[in-house]
Structures are given as structure tokens and as C-alpha cells.
Amino acid sequence: MTKPRILVVDDDPGIRFALALKLRTAGFEVAEATDGQEGVDWFRTGKADLVVLDVGMPRMDGYTAAKALRAGETTKDLPVLFLTAQNLELPDDVKPAIGRHKFLTKPFSPRDVVAAVKALLQGA
């Protein structure tokens, strides 16, 4: 049985490291990207079962990255876990473009991230 692969996209190296460590410990394979554009570009050669996206990032924010992923044939159904210090409501222009997703507000527990990832992968 192959491990589910999670792409963690966050511009904060400390958060990326902590999340990747916790997710690996929980049995997931983890890839990392430093911003939304790098995360979207990663899918040109990589495949993930879920993406963890920080909302506030340079170059391309998490909402824009999620919309770009939804437009791709191989990523259109990809579940998204948004990490945000902002409002939990999706902007109106993003709502139609975002499929299965959850939000976690910063600060969060890495345990909460693992639980949300598992729930999204199970279709909850």
C-alpha cells in the first residue's frame, strides 16, 4: 500500500518543517513548496493526494493557487486544506472554483492539521 502524498505549500520555513515532520510521522509522504506559484508548478512533474496551502504568500496566494489547481485536468478534484490567519470565508470570486476543502486558523496545532488531512482524504 502506498502512502498518501501531501504537498505542503507555505512561505514560512518553520511552519513547513513542522508540518512536514508531523505528516511524515503520521505516515504520509510529503513534498514542500515555498509559495503558491512553486506549488502549482510542482504538479507539472509531481502528484499529490492533497495540498496544504497557506493563504497569505508572496508571488501567488493560496486562493489563486487553488483556483489554478482546479483548472488543471489532473488536479481539478484535489482536496485543499487552507491555513490562514485571515477570515475563514472564501472570497466570492473563489467559491465556484474551490472543491473539497477545509480551513485551519493560525495558530494551529500540527495534530489538527493531521486530523484535517485525514478527514479530507476520507471525503469528509
pLDDT, tens digit (0-9, with 9 covering 90-100), for 8-67: 999 999 999 999 999 999 999 999 999 999 999 999 899 999 999 999 898 899 989 998
> pLDDT tens for residues 93-123?
655 555 668 888 888 888 899 999 999 999 8
Q: Are 4 and 29 spatial neighbours (Cβ–Cβ below 8 Å)?
A: yes
Report the pLDDT value the prediction gives residue 2, as an integer from 0 to 100. Answer: 86
The pTM score is: 0.89
Residue appearing with cell numbers 475563514:
88
User: In terms of C-beta density within 10 A (0-12 exposed, 13-18 middle, 19 or more buried), how is residue 108 classed?
Assistant: middle
DSSP 76-117: TT--EEEEESS-SSPPTTTGGG--SEEEEESS--HHHHHHHH
With H, G, I as helix, E, B as strand and everything else as coil, classify residue 69: helix
Take residue 56 and report the three cell numbers written for it.
497569505
Give the Cα separation of 2 and 97 in Å (integer). 29
Report the pLDDT value the prediction gives residue 23, as an integer from 0 to 100. Answer: 97
Domains in the chain, CATH or no CATH each: 11-121 (3.40.50.2300)
With H, G, I as helix, E, B as strand and everything else as coil, classify residue 50: strand
